[in-house]
């Protein structure tokens, strides 16, 4: 599930600098700082909420916020949309990152933490790479804004397993 948000992160860091108009090139550095800053703040909040209510219930909101942020970012000609979209994506990314890792740790004994960490990081790295490669192929045919919107739609594919998992007794 988290690999889909990592997919979006790979798209943002790789293609946003190319997608915004040249007149907004000064915005890119700030936006590429804002996304991880928002993710860091969201991780902290998600951790506090997850400790009190359980992390499994945060996976869906994290996925939805990430996809919504990427969809808003599709309006690459608007500085406000890009700022808002990347911030929203960062918040969703941070929530999903914290929640998915916490859920995975909760489902294994302490002796499995190394395996969980490795699997989670493989999914993260694979998602980042696949996102950039897939987006590049799509953007070449559709243009950047449509490719951002299509990537947001692809991210929504993780909603079904996240929803199903949230409702299972083991969650």
Secondary structure (DSSP) of 37-68: HHHHHHHHHHHHHHHHH-SHHHHHHHHHHHHH
To the nearest 10 degrees (0 to 180), the angle between helices 2-19 and 79-106 is 160
Q: How confident is the model at residue 171 (pLDDT cuts 50, 70, 90)?
A: very low
Structure tokens, 24: 């907004």
Check pLDDT > 90 for residue 134: no
Mean pLDDT of the chain: 90
Number of structural domains found in the chain = 1
Q: Which two tokens stand for residue 109?
A: 């004994």
Which residue, 2, 19, 1, is CA-closest to 135? Answer: 19
What is the H or E stretch that residue 139 is in?
helix 113-142
Largest CA distance in the chain: 53
pLDDT in tens, 29-69: 999 999 999 999 999 999 999 999 999 899 999 999 999 99
Terminal-residue alpha carbon distance, the chain: 14
The predicted model gives 68-91 an average pLDDT of: 96
Rg of the chain's alpha carbons, rounded to an integer? 16
For the full predicted model, state whether its pTM sits above 0.85.
yes
The residue whose two tokens read 């998992």 is 165
User: What per-residue string of b and e applies to 98-129 under the rule 16 or more CB within 10 Å gives b?
Assistant: bbbbbbbbeeeeeeeeeebeeebeebbeebbe
151 touches 73 (CB < 8 A): no
Q: Whole domain around residue 30: which residue ranges?
A: 2-167
Residue 162 reports pLDDT greater than 80: no
Q: Which two tokens stand for residue 62?
A: 């994290």
Segment 2-35, tens digit of pLDDT:
677 788 888 899 899 999 999 998 899 999 999 9
pLDDT of 161 above 90 = no
DSSP one-letter code for 108: S
Give the domain CATH number at 74. Answer: 1.20.1250.20
């Amino acid at each position: 599930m988290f690999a889909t948000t990592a997919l979006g992160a790979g798209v943002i860091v790789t293609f946003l600098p190319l997608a915004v108009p040249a007149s907004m090139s000064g915005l890119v550095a700030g936006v590429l700082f804002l996304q991880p800053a928002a993710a860091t703040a969201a991780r902290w909040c998600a951790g506090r909420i997850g400790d009190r209510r359980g992390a499994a219930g945060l996976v869906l909101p994290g996925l939805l916020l990430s996809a919504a942020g990427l969809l808003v970012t599709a309006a690459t000609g608007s500085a406000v949309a890009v700022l808002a979209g990347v911030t929203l994506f960062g918040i969703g990314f941070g929530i999903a990152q914290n929640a998915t890792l916490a859920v995975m740790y909760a489902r294994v004994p302490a002796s499995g933490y190394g395996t969980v960490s490795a699997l989670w990081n493989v999914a993260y790295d694979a998602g980042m790479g696949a996102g950039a490669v897939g987006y590049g192929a799509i953007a070449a045919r559709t243009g950047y804004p449509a490719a951002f919107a299509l990537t947001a739609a692809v991210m929504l594919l993780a909603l079904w397993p996240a929803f199903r998992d949230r409702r299972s007794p083991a969650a």
